[in-house]
């Protein structure tokens, strides 16, 4: 798994928080607040479920949307992907 892309995207999200950029989708989400991000995650999760019954390509596309919005949520919550990685490692060792 190429987790570097998660960290690269997360760095961009964090940069948008520190240095808002006009026209940025991340800034749009941040400006709309936590409820907007949560709504998007709900929508994307539903789209993942539907895509899983369709094609692999559609599933990959929708999963990417879900993961992206999840990274935005982590940043809004003051968390990082590393904390999720640690939890997954902890579970893996059980």
Regarding the domain delimited by 4-93, which CATH topology (the fold level of the hierarchy) does it fall under? Helix Hairpins (1.10.287)
Cα separation, 25 vs 71, in Å, equals 13
Please tell me the total number of residues recorded for the chain in this structure: 94
Phi and psi at 23, nearest 5°, equal 85, -5
pLDDT 10s per residue in the chain (94 long)?
A: 566 898 999 999 999 999 999 999 999 999 999 999 999 999 999 999 999 999 999 999 999 999 999 999 999 999 999 999 999 999 998 7
Residue spans of the domains in the chain: they are 4-93
What DSSP element (H or E) covers 4?
helix 4-18
- C-alpha distance from residue 71 to each of 56, 93, 94 (Å): 22, 24, 26
């Amino acid at each position: 798994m190429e987790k570097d892309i998660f960290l690269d995207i997360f760095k961009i999200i964090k940069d948008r928080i520190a240095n808002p950029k006009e026209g940025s989708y991340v800034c749009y989400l941040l400006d709309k607040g936590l409820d907007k991000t949560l709504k998007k995650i709900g929508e994307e999760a539903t789209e993942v479920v539907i895509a899983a019954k369709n094609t692999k390509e559609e599933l990959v596309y929708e999963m990417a949307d879900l993961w992206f919005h999840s990274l935005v949520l982590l940043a809004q919550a003051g968390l990082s992907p590393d904390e999720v990685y640690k939890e997954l490692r902890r579970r893996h060792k059980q």
